[in-house]
Amino acid sequence: MKALPYLLAKEYKQMFRNWLLPVVFILLPIAMMNVVPRIATQEVKNLNIAVIDCDHSTLSSRLTQKLQASEFFNLYATCPNYQTAYDLLQEGSVDFIVTIENEFEHNLYRTGGADVMVTVNAVNGMKGGLGNSYLTQIVMQYAQELGYENGTVARRPVTVEPRYLFNAALDYKPYMVPALIAMTLILLVGFLPALNVVGEKERGTIEQINVTPVSRIEFILSKMIPYWTVGIFIVGFSMLLAWKIHGVTPAGSVWLVFLFNIVYIFTISSLGLTISNYSDNMRQAAIVMFFFIVIFILTSGLISPIASMPHWAQEATRLNPLRYIITAMREIYLKGSTFHQLLPQFIPLCIYGALASVWAVISFQKNN
């Protein structure tokens, strides 16, 4: 590794010799944080609900069946108590908790009205707001049906009391901003390394490297480390912009944000270098990297929820590193999730990074 410091010095000089790159490192995060959260939208369907039936009566069972039959909701579980349902909400398995009060049927027949409490996972404000609206309509229609069946039932509507967790204001920006940080990284730290090695090939300087005693690991590290430092800067700068422009700050640990992004930067820069190793010119590398970036973005959950995708597409997203970092960033920013709770995202991201880095080293052919 004696040659690594000299190779790193060369890479940093080449990076900052082009005045456009430092400008892009500043302007792209500003554009992503300022413009995209103001214009992004999202479709909502296939929402998972957990039902707590405290009454266990005929009418409460009919309400549960009506919710299950809706095209907007999937009945994920019927829970015996609120804590069990809340645990499912905390881990992201369900989006809504519907609590049917005790003596639901009795109150309907006696007073013509009853209460249903809805607890909403409002990490995605738009998803939570629209989902609650759909849920309220279903319950109100059910009350009207009971009124038609028996004039004494549901003389006043069934009241629904929503409780929005994690994003009480139902603001879409706190949901979008963490994902945009990850997307900014893949555009810069993923795309630019893909042009690096192939740029050496086009300039002819790769031949000088081939006749030196520089190992493949040293060469790949010299290409990756500068972009790791740039990526860490972009994470910190983007978090600062999110705070100053939108007032969005992580509810969880800032250090956990950096930990996940360091692994993510390591992964996407390795993928970029792998593509560069297999490309003969910069045009070819740019086209291939653009193809992967589009696929990654479309299947990451950034534009549309993964639950709304076909089953085969949901399974295919497991090969997308952007999916794991976006999920982790949203959980940290909005829920304040701990490292233990984010292990399902951290472990696949580490495996992906290890495989990508090994592939990047092996795919670089150094001809002596």
HEC profile of 181-199: HHHHHHHHHHHHHHCHHHH
Q: What is the pLDDT of residue 127?
A: 75
Region 301-306 average pLDDT: 78
The full length of the chain comes to 368
Task: Count Cα atoms within 13 angstroms, Cβ side, for 42.
Answer: 28
Please give the pLDDT value at position 154: 47
Contacts of 312 (CB under 8 A, 6+ apart): none
- Output the six-digit token pair for 166: 């994690």
Helix, strand or coil for residue 332? Answer: helix
Instruction: Determine the Cα–Cα distance for residues 215 and 193; give it in Å rounded to an integer.
Output: 19
pLDDT at position 287: 86
Q: Closest by alpha carbon to 333, among 37, 72, 43, 71?
A: 37
How far apart, in Å, do the first and last CA atoms of the chain sit? 18
Which domains, ranges and CATH numbers included, belong to the chain? 4-40+172-363 (no CATH), 47-165 (3.40.1710.10)
Contacts of 105 (CB under 8 A, 6+ apart): 55, 57, 58, 59, 60, 114
DSSP state of 318: G
Contact 121, 166 (CB under 8 A): yes
Enter the DSSP assignment of 45: -
Q: What percent of the chain has pLDDT over 90?
A: 16
Structure tokens at 293: 């970036």
Q: What is the pLDDT of residues 102-158, one digit of tens each?
A: 888 888 777 777 788 888 888 777 677 778 888 888 888 887 777 777 655 445 556
- The amino acid at residue 295 is I
Report the C-alpha gap between 73 and 95 in whole angstroms. 9
User: What is the predicted pLDDT for the residue at 368?
Assistant: 41
Hey, CA dihedral for 191, 192, 197, 200, is it positive or negative? positive
Residue the block writes with tokens 């790193």 = 8
Is-contact 184 267, C-beta < 8 A? no
Find the mean pLDDT for residues 335-359.
Answer: 92
Tell whether the model's pLDDT for residue 293 goes beyond 70.
yes
Vertex 286 angle, CA 283 and 288, to 5°: 110
**CB neighbours of 296 closer than 8 A, spacing ≥ 6?**
186, 320, 321, 322
Confidence at residue 132, expressed as pLDDT on a 0 to 100 scale: 82
Gap between the Cα atoms of 329 and 340, Å rounded: 14
| Token duo for residue 49 | 């609900």
pLDDT at 89: 87
Residue 158, φ and ψ in degrees, nearest 5 = -70, 120
Across the strands, what pairs with 120? 96, 164
Type of residue found at 50:
A
pLDDT at res. 345: 93
Cα 81 from Cα 310, distance rounded (Å): 32
Residue 144: alpha-carbon gap to chain centroid? 39
The 10s digit of each residue's pLDDT in 247-282 is 889 998 999 999 999 999 999 988 888 888 888 888
pLDDT higher than 50, residue 349: yes
* pLDDT tens by residue, 34-74: 877 766 655 567 788 999 988 888 888 888 888 888 878 88
Residue recorded with tokens 């992967």: 292
Contact 106, 58 (CB under 8 A): no
Distance, CA of 300 to CA of 306 (rounded, Å): 7
